[in-house]
Structure 1
Amino acid sequence: MRFRYSRPDPEILALLRTMERMRQVFDELVLRSGGDVEEALRWMRELQRRGFLPGDVDVSRFAETLEKGGVLRVERDRRRLTPRGARDLRRGAFDLVFRNLRGGPLGDHRTRATGEGGERRSETRPLRFGDSPSSIDGAGTLREALARGGIEDLSIAPGDFRVFETEHSASCATVLLLDVSHSMILYGEDRITPAKKVAMALAELVETRYPKDSLDCVLFGDEAKPVEVTDLPYVNAGPFHTNTRDGLRMARTILRRRRHPNRRIVMITDGKPSALTENGMIYRNPFGLDPHIVARTLHEAILCRRERIPITTFMIAEDPVLRDFVTEMTRANRGQAFFASPGDLGGAIFVDFLRNRRRRA
């Protein structure tokens, strides 16, 4: 069989690059519009009118291409995402976060702890009772026997056996708390979209690389409510206050049902706690740090600590007063706190997630 090679057609390559760029813009706008496909297409036409997108691309035909590809479907004269389209958004968010993670100055985050099971390392140690035969280092064992008796009296004694060290990855139950209060879109800065991207990327990571883990997502505004991973593209910030205590309480309830050896809460927020649920009523105070709300929120953090549930808080705000509150809550829980911009959020969370799910066996 003969193969004929030729130079790629520049026009086809240009068209492919244009369509890829259009898809990236479409995915971003769908997330910013809370999963509203028609709104995203309207924004694309407006961007095209202003010269930010190629004028020779028909947005309607682009949408039809996505329909044929199974990304969109038409329901009641409106285009909506299909399950495949939602999955593509998660994969795109995952690729974006990891591309930035590999390219950024975040360093090497391998664990120093070793144990049984998991990924094999180059280091070896003497055989211990209970070690798996599959972890025996044959070459290393032979070297020990030669060093002990020489080539003329070669025999392998129990003390000669060497086994490879391995990194141990323990299963982990994680609840991701996502702040959907009004401050996440206040002052013209969109903080909810980067947070949604991180949530979707984290869900994709758990599903593809750590299938024995569990990941639950909880939104908290005036009150807390769970959300399915498949519904994350449709999440929007609203005219809500920040009921941090209710979010922590729901996360603790979810984790109490999990049987994983490790349990943790990852919280993304940009605001102070300004609401509290007591006796079925929501108490709100958006002015300053309400001592009663703060006290009840800190108490919930302490309850998490008593149940050995660490809280890792990612704060995407610069207010010194809010940072002081997060620091105090972290101290009460004995957890961790990171202060990141929306653009750095993905890398920070993924480095922390991958580092903390490894433990010494």
Structure 2
Amino acid sequence: MIGIRFSEFTGKNKTVFEKLFDIFKELILHTSGDVDEALDWLNEIDKEYGITTAEYTMDDFIEELKKKGYLREEIDTPNGDGTGDGSGLSITAKTERAIRSSALEQIFGKIKKSNSGNHTTKFTGQGDEQTSDMRSYHFGDSLDQIAMNESIRNAFVNQGIDDFSMTHDDLVVQENYHKAQMSTVLMIDISHSMILYGEDRITPAKKVALALAELIKTRYPKDTLDIIVFGNDSWQIELEELPYLKVGPYHTNTVAGLELAMDLLRKKKNANKQIFMITDGKPSCLHEPDGTYYKNSFGLDEYIVNKCLNKAAACRRLKIPITTFMIAQDPYLQSFIQKFTEANKSKAFFTGLKGLGDFIFHDYENNRRRNIK
């Protein structure tokens, strides 16, 4: 059906709703936010794995999604003859947050905390030097930050000694100082080649972007992340748009993506800046000064390649490293990425799709430590 095995989402110790919801969040990414299509696929998966029961049907699941605020009814604008196009379902901001949290847990959940840096700043959050300040526990805080004595004291005050239990609301953590601030631009290739030959490259890229965004929001809230996409042109998208992102009938204008990334980073006040680029590696388009497009889908065009190498060198002069995550295996494309990386004096990971999130996490952590000023 979609080439994905979902048996891992039907684990034990989960309610039927939780099992279905885990799969539903995955399908929403694959369908770019199309709820009806996601539910159709979920029905097929349910037929194969028997997730629902006589007591809890798919209709019950949909109603619970609505009741918990994960789905809302959308009424289409009436037609000119007074009739409407019907109604449909769409996901809510609560679902978007749940998808980001799920992506964070799947991709980064098993990776250990990295080593500490050496330079402090005035900013507070989840850092490395402890202070005497306390705050409520937030998702993403490490367990070793929890101030146990104060948390137990809160539980006694809130529940009393006769009915003692500790809840999430009782937990407090010791505030830390951040050691650096990093500004990152994540470039995502949305050219048509990202779905060619039956390989879905865009969904893993979206999931990694969601996980990276959630990681930064929860662990490094003073860091910044801007997300841009590039096809024939390049434009910035908001975090909330990521689940709905689709590949278009585009060529790959890597130069336009780099130009926009450089413009965004020039506006950042901090000194630590970087670009992450997820691509299948083949630039095939330029937007010329006269407004026309120069395109060549056959092989590597020397004119386009040289423009890309010039932009990589320009980023190097601005002290902006570009880490390229190459998700195609073609040797001649990897050769181009190697030249591109040499021009920027940075690095590239020829990851394929497997392990893409691990590579990005480790490089983000390493760059934060290495780029502290």
User: What is the TM-score when the length of structure 2 is the normalising length?
Assistant: 0.75
Q: What secondary structure is seen at the aligned counterpart in 1 of 2:206?
A: helix
**CA distance 1:306–1:360, shift in 2 (3 Å):** closer
Contact 2:119/2:179 (<8 A) preserved: no
Q: How far is 1:15 from its partner? A: 8.3
| CA–CA distance in structure 2, aligned partners of residues 169 and 356 of structure 1 | 13
Question: 1:203 is matched with which residue?
Answer: 213
% identical equivalent positions? 45
Residue 119 in 1 paired to residue 117 in 2? no
Structure 1 unaligned residues grouped into runs of 5+:
1-12, 103-107, 122-165
Q: How far is 1:116 from its partner? A: 4.1
Question: 1:46 is matched with which residue?
Answer: 44
Question: 2:115 is matched with which residue?
Answer: 110
User: What is the TM-score when the length of structure 1 is the normalising length?
Assistant: 0.78
Residue 222 in 1 paired to residue 232 in 2? yes
Question: 2:102 is matched with which residue?
Answer: 92
| CA–CA distance in structure 2, aligned partners of residues 92 and 292 of structure 1 | 42
Question: 2:367 is matched with which residue?
Answer: 356
Contact 2:258/2:311 (<8 A) preserved: yes
Question: 2:292 is matched with which residue?
Answer: 281
The one-character-per-residue Cα deviations of 1:185-218 (angstroms, maximum 9, x if unpaired) are 1111111111101101111111112121111000
1:298-309 aligned within 5 A? 298-309=309-320
Q: How far is 1:46 from its partner? A: 2.5
Contact 2:341/2:348 (<8 A) preserved: yes
* 2:115 partner letter: R
Task: Please identify runs of 4+ aligned residues in structure 1 that moved more than 3 A.
Answer: 13-17, 115-118
1:120-269 aligned within 5 A? 120=129, 169-269=179-279
Q: What secondary structure is seen at the aligned counterpart in 2 of 1:342?
A: coil
Question: 1:105 is matched with which residue?
Answer: none
**CA distance 1:14–1:325, shift in 2 (3 Å):** closer
RMSD of Structure 2 on Structure 1 (CA) = 2.1
Q: How far is 1:60 from its partner? A: 2.5
| CA–CA distance in structure 2, aligned partners of residues 200 and 116 of structure 1 | 28
Contact 1:242/1:273 (<8 A) preserved: yes
* 1:27 partner letter: K
* 2:273 partner letter: R
The one-character-per-residue Cα deviations of 1:16-60 (angstroms, maximum 9, x if unpaired) are 4432221111111100000111110111122334x2343535223
| CA–CA distance in structure 2, aligned partners of residues 98 and 116 of structure 1 | 25
The one-character-per-residue Cα deviations of 1:330-353 (angstroms, maximum 9, x if unpaired) are 100111111112120001101110
- Greater C-alpha Rg: 1
Equivalenced residue count is: 298
Question: 1:5 is matched with which residue?
Answer: none
